[in-house]
Structure 1
Amino acid sequence: MKLESRLRSHFEASIAAKQATLAQALPALVRAAALLAERLRAGGKVLACGNGGSAGDAQHFAAELTGRFERERPGLPGIALTVDSSALTAIANDYSFERVFSKQVEALGRTGDVLLAISTSGNSPNVVRAIEAAHAQQMHVIALTGRDGGRMAALLRESDIELRAASSVTARVQEVHILFLHCLCDAIDEQLFPK
């Protein structure tokens, strides 16, 4: 029974983090969904980046855009900056690991595109550099963060959007992030391809 209680506590903590996040982040989530749909409708694309589990989330989101989420529709331009091993290793080797995303943003990003920047702490140096590069390219930024938002939150401009998970526990932040991403996928589909 002790193990059962421990596992139950994970579910309860995840539910609590999601409820707390919903109370504070829903207006920002609505704005992010509207921004993504508007930029995609206008021919823009989404570049997504993060490290570790956040890299997986970036790839997951890009795959939902280019493939589909829950309804049949044309593919949408989403690129995970975490998947090109040649680019990642060349940039890390020739410049630094801090530049692995920013160099790709400089090469692939255009004015009006969106950078989806994901970091549970908000302090990942390479994601911070990607935000700086996106600003230089006049791109929009949607930042998924946790804890206090970290350096990423401090960098954001008025036109950027922060989606912050209401938790300081990495696992809970990641669980909220995937919910944010699924909400955004559903909202994009609903706005661009209503049934």
Structure 2
Amino acid sequence: MTPPLSLTEQIRAELTEAQTVLTQFVQNPANLAAIEQAARLMADSLRQGGKILTCGNGGSLCDAQHFAEELTGRYRQNRPALAAIALTEASHMSCVANDFGYEYVFSRYVEALGRPGDVLLAISTSGNSPNILRAAEAARAAGMRVVSLTGKDGGLLANLSDVEIRPPHTGYADRIQEIHIKAIHIMILLIEQLVAEPASGDGGTR
């Protein structure tokens, strides 16, 4: 019988596995391209007066909130506030969950706030959360674009997305979430840079 790992060995094993997953993600050029495409899509929307709505469940809801507050607040640059809303308001969610069902808590928000040219950042480690799928469907119906952070095989959300960012799957959702937060931080970094650039046709600085 193999003896149990010591706490130090468990710590090392966890960090090593996380490092391995990140390395696998970085080595796939499609993942890097997807992050850039997502950032450009969102920056274009913001520069044209649009906004970003974002949603998720559990830890992914926390990631959605973090994404939005870094845009309305700041990440690394002092710049004007950027329009981003995490779909998390408690009274709305309890009302819709009670009256319609929990699968509608995000889609009703999107129907109320989403406009053509806006972007939905939908976060689901399985890609199959019913309320996230309905939000993506509502976004597409509203003429919005959909960026998704998924996992496993991408689920049904993959086919509803204009851009999908999907970490490699190791069997645990926390490894997926670790890549999600890295992608979120990089997208915010790029968005801050892109919205500060002169729009095409502006002629740049003189």
Scaled to the shorter chain, the TM-score interval is over 0.9
CA distance in 2, matches of 1:46, 1:111: 11
| Higher mean C-alpha displacement, 55-64 vs 16-25 | 16-25
Q: Which of these residues, 52, 62, 79, is aligned with residue 56 of structure 1?
A: 62
Paired position in structure 2 for 1:176: 179
Q: Distance in 2 between matches of 1:22 and 1:148?
A: 18
Q: How does 1:85-164 map to 2 (within 5 A)?
A: 85-156=90-161, 160-164=162-166
Cα distance in 1 for residues equivalent to 2:91 and 2:196 = 35
Q: Deviation per CA, 1:48-75: give whole Å up to 9, x if none.
A: 0000000000000000010000111110
CA deviations over 1:40-96 (Å, ceiling 9, x no partner): 1111100000000000000000000100001111100000002x1110011111101
Is the CA contact 2:118–2:144 (under 8 Å) kept in the aligned structure 1? Answer: yes
Equivalent residue for 1:78, pick from 76, 84, 87: 84
1:27 paired residue among 22, 33, 54 = 33
The secondary structure found in structure 1 opposite 2:116 is coil
| Secondary structure at 2:27 match in 1 | helix
Question: 2:159, 2:79 → 1: CA distance?
Answer: 37
Q: Distance in 1 between matches of 2:41 and 2:195?
A: 12
- Number of aligned residue pairs: give it: 190
Letter of the structure 2 residue corresponding to residue 63 of structure 1:
E
CA distance in structure 2 between the aligned counterparts of 1:34 and 1:19, rounded to whole angstroms: 24
Aligned-partner Cα distance in 2 for 1:193–1:7? 41
2:22 aligned partner: 18
C-alpha displacement at 1:2, in angstroms? Answer: 1.5
Structure 1 gaps, min length 5: none
Secondary structure (helix, strand or coil) at the match of 1:92 reads helix
CA contact (8 A) 2:102 2:131 kept: yes
- 4+ aligned runs moved over 2 Å, structure 1: none
- Paired with 1:119 and 1:20, the residues of 2 have a C-alpha distance of 20
Q: CA RMSD in A?
A: 1.1
One-letter amino acid of the structure 1 residue matched with residue 80 of structure 2: P
Identity %: 49
Q: TM-score, normalised by structure 1?
A: 0.94
**Secondary structure class of the residue paired with 1:165:** coil
Q: Distance in 1 between matches of 2:90 and 2:36?
A: 34
Offset, 1:23: 2.4
Which ranges of structure 2 fall in alignment gaps of 5 or more residues?
A: 198-206
